Amino acid sequence: MRYLASDIFKKISIYILTVSLVISGKIIEGEDRKESIEWEKRGEVFMRVYQDTIEDSRYETNQEIDSRFKWENKFKFRSFPIILGINLEARYQALVGEDTEKDLDLLLKEAYLKFTEPSYSLKIGRQTVTWGKLDDIIVLDRVNPQEYKWFILWDKQERKIPVFMAKYDYYGNNYQIETVIVPFFKPSYVRFFGSDWAVFGHLKEVIEDGSYSQSIKNIIKSIKVHEKDRFSEQVLENMQGGIRVKGTFKGIDWSIYYMYFYNDTPTLRERTSKGNTVKKFLYIPTNSNLSQLVAQNPSGDDLILDREYSRLHIIGVDFETVAGNYGLRGELGFFYNKPFLRENFSYIEKNTLCAGIGIDHTTSGNLYWNLQFIEDIVFSYENLFSQEEYSHQITSTFSKDFLRGKLTFGVDSSYRISYHDWMVNPNFTYNFNGRLSILVGGFIFEGASTTLFGRYAKKDVIYFQTTYKF
């Protein structure tokens, strides 16, 4: 089970699950017991099928299937200030191509106990937390890692990976203090080789099957991305934590943050100077860079790149308010020790500032629009790979309902102004009865091959999704 990665997690999760089963049994014992426990449950089943618009290479999967069954349960005790949550999920995924791959996972996605009192609450277990105000942009929302198996085809909330943590909330007069302790580190899920959505795609397969010498093939085959032991083991030295103070002042919701977290998306760190040449070829796979790599005759640690997760000190603020018929929100975060690659691809850490502001509005004609602008600034700047000193990004969402709300047309997009790469996601959704809906959409990526979206410029897809809620 993907989310039960350690014995500690398994024991805790099994304990909570056992408690929930006992509670479930008590619920059906009699009317008195039913009245003492409230059981809230909901679920959904959905399947999404992706189809490549163009088959660019024989290594790509022609179709991808992602099916998920979710069942969320919440037990509330009327006699005790306790809430128990059990969220289960089953996934079936298939990659259809020359070599079809199938995968079935049964996941205990969330399992927690929440103790509630008028002035505080304590929630312990596997859970997800959402911080920040911006839509589908990660600035301050960094408590949970993300699953990038499908890149960003799912939104930020769906990509979140639940982790074991303790969350303590204190409720004061017109303010609230949230404290989060995450005892063990879990990184975001990122593949570097061997899939359409991997960072380096099918580069190894292309070299292996190409008309290259055996010595070249052996070098490329020997390139490894390694997880350091201290990150793969569940040890308390990887403990993370954060605090959020929030309140309301003159109609403005505000929050102040301090976080001590890992940058959970890996950056590749070289073990030797030749490792920089390895990274140069991986990120820019030209014949010239391949020749430069081979000329150095790399071996051993030269060909091993470590996944590095820098420790971040984060100080941030956010706000949200309403100005007339418009919604306004924003986030600002200062990051100490954020990882980058220099122009020569060597690893380095820099302090950065990230700021974002958003505005949304629904017109009298029922047209909804949402615009966000994000600015990143790197301090003590030197030439970096694929990172400007000042970088700008715009995201947008437009949607409109038709047929009395049954049919919705929407367009989501993101344009990274500094790098000239972009993504567009048009979609149509038809809602039959509030429970069953179908969706048809697509993703279009464009940009230079070294940019975030341009890396997948040959991976434009259309998709069909059915969803049933119960």
Residue range 290-347, pLDDT digits in tens = 999 999 999 999 999 999 999 999 999 999 999 999 999 999 999 999 999 999 999 9
Q: 361: how many CB neighbours lie within 10 A of its CB? A: 14
Q: Would 449 be classed as within a structural domain?
A: yes
**Distance in angstroms (rounded) separating the CA atoms of residues 23 and 33:** 10
Domain span at 398: 363-470
In a domain? residue 452? yes
Number of domains, the chain:
1
What share of the chain in percent tops pLDDT 70? 91
Q: What angle do CA 407, 453, 127 make, to 5 degrees?
A: 70
Dihedral, CA of residue 313, residue 374, residue 255 and residue 309, to nearest 10: -20
| Residue 411 within a domain | yes
Specify if 422 maps to a domain.
Answer: yes
pLDDT tens sequence across 18-65: 455 444 554 444 445 556 889 999 999 999 999 999 877 778 888 899
| Distance separating alpha carbons of residues 330 and 381, to the nearest angstrom | 25
Q: Which helix (H) or strand (E) holds 159?
A: helix 156-159
The answer to whether residue 39 is domain-embedded is no
| Residue 257 covered by a domain | no
Task: Report the distance separating Cα 237 and Cα 223, nearest Å.
Answer: 29
Report if residue 175 sits inside a domain. Answer: no
Tell me: pLDDT of 3 over 80: no
How many Å apart are CA 238 and CA 165, to the nearest integer? 13
Structure tokens of 218? 């052996």
Say if residues 23 and 84 touch (Cβ distance below 8 Å).
yes
Residue 456 lies in a domain: yes
Q: What is the mean pLDDT of residues 195-209?
A: 95
Spatial separation of the C-alpha atoms in residues 293 and 295, rounded to whole Å: 5
Q: Are 29 and 133 in contact (CB under 8 A)?
A: no
Three-state secondary structure readout of 172-201? CCCEEEEEEEECCCCCCECCCCCCCCCCCC
Question: Which pTM was predicted?
Answer: 0.89
pLDDT at 56: 72
The mean pLDDT of the chain is: 92
